[in-house]
Amino acid sequence: MRRLAIFLGALMVLAGVVFAALERAPVESWLFRRIAFHAVSQPKPVLAEKNELAVLFCGTGSPLPDKSRGGPCTLIAAGDRLYLVDAGIDSARNLMLWRIPLEKIAGVFITHFHSDHIGELGEIRLQTWVAGRNKPLAVYGPPGIERVVGGFNEAYALDAGYRTAHHGAAMLPPDAVAMVPRPIDAGTVLELNGLKVTAIKVHHDPATPAYGYRFDYGGRSIVVSGDTAPDQNLTTAAHGADVLVHEGLSPEMVAIMRDALAASGHPRQAKIFHDIPPYHTSPVDAARIANQAQVRLLVFTHIIPMLPNSFAERLFLHGVSDVRPDGVEMAHDGLIVRLPANTTGIRESGVP
């Protein structure tokens, strides 16, 4: 079988060489043409069918640099409408690499204004417009969202002007490019075409107010915690949800890193590692919250610290199975969790 595959491969390359010689084109050109036509003719991924709710993890990291995890980014699909929760560094890059139809992003929900959650808002603004978004993009968030959105609009204004001048207003209409800030209080913030979005006040002082979000659609539900210490509001609001997407910080691993930094003459970084645990949630506490809220599946994101291998991942989850033996998942960039309408099914896959 393997020999046959090698033979067929060699035959194809030989055919390419002959074809290229006849066409007087370099063989690289012939090969690139084949690859390019194949690549761009692939259908774009469908994240959710009609009435289906789904989540795509477009960034599962934190401010700590991690080659395998982008900054915080969670994409919710309610049928063919897409909503982004946070736009950390690499959000736009990951979504473009996976060929997600960015023009279908109908709104962005920001949990709070720590830089790891907003760093790529400017690129989301630009790339959704380039992909075909034809009206301004609503960006929901706590009071203060006006300053954040206004700043990104201003920072990207010259760029947008160049692009309209270059490609034409028919393709890149200047009245569609802007993001529009939508300051919100906790409670129901959007009800549209069967989708209900609820903002939940969580505890992440001094970044206040900070929100988590609950999405209900097609009889299914997903709750995204945002950054938070263990919080009763979140536990209450997540009651009975199908999926709880929760941040997780391992106090044990962060303490080890703090000690290593202090012992090796890095007092500034050691102080940061000393300061961060109180406004985040340990994996064991998140498991308790998931149990109290009676959610079907708990998925960890915003992973702190970075987990370079399965050994580190086991340490991160140490003690979780004692509290919650089943229904726990580690998110990774590209994980998709789909919830078909009016069922109890949960289907997991990766981006193609």
For the annotated catalytic residues, the residue numbers are 116
First-to-last alpha carbon distance for the chain, in angstroms, is: 26
CB of 55 or CB of 195, closer to Zn ion: 55
Over its C-alpha atoms, the chain yields an Rg (Å, rounded) of: 23
The answer to the question of residue 242 lying near Zn ion (CB under 5 A) is no
Q: Give least dist CB 257 to Zn ion, A.
A: 17
The answer to the question of residue 66 lying near Zn ion (CB under 5 A) is no
The interface region with Zn ion, picked from 15-23, 152-160, 221-229, 285-293 by CB under 5 A, is 221-229
Q: Give least dist CB 113 to Zn ion, A.
A: 8
The interface region with Zn ion, picked from 33-41, 148-156, 188-196, 226-234 by CB under 5 A, is 226-234
The interface region with Zn ion, picked from 47-55, 115-123, 131-139, 249-257 by CB under 5 A, is 115-123
Token pair in block for residue 153: 């609009």
* DSSP alpha helix (H) spans, 156-282: 157-167, 232-237, 251-263, 267-275
Token pair in block for residue 82: 């897409």
Dihedral pair phi/psi, residue 69, rounded to 5°: -135, 125
The interface region with Zn ion, picked from 1-9, 112-120, 213-221, 337-345 by CB under 5 A, is 112-120
Instruction: Please state, in angstroms and rounded to a whole number, the distance separating the CA atoms of residues 286 and 303.
Output: 12
- Using CB under 5 A, pick the residue from 52, 90, 120, 227 that binds Zn ion: 227
The answer to the question of residue 114 lying near Zn ion (CB under 5 A) is yes
The answer to the question of residue 201 lying near Zn ion (CB under 5 A) is no
In the numeric block, the tokens 């308790």 are attached to 288
Instruction: Please state, in angstroms and rounded to a whole number, the distance separating the CA atoms of residues 7 and 19.
Output: 18
CB 203 within 8 A of CB 221: no
Q: Give least dist CB 325 to Zn ion, A.
A: 28
Token pair in block for residue 175: 């009245």
Instruction: Please state, in angstroms and rounded to a whole number, the distance separating the CA atoms of residues 346 and 299.
Output: 12
CB of 287 or CB of 304, closer to Zn ion: 304
Collapsing DSSP to helix, strand or coil, 323 comes out as helix
- Using CB under 5 A, pick the residue from 116, 120, 242, 285 that binds Zn ion: 116
Q: Give least dist CB 326 to Zn ion, A.
A: 28
In the numeric block, the tokens 């991924």 are attached to 45
CB 185 within 8 A of CB 147: no
Residues numbered 257 to 316 that lie near Zn ion (CB under 5 A) are none
Binding positions for Zn ion, rule: CB under 5 A: 114, 116, 227
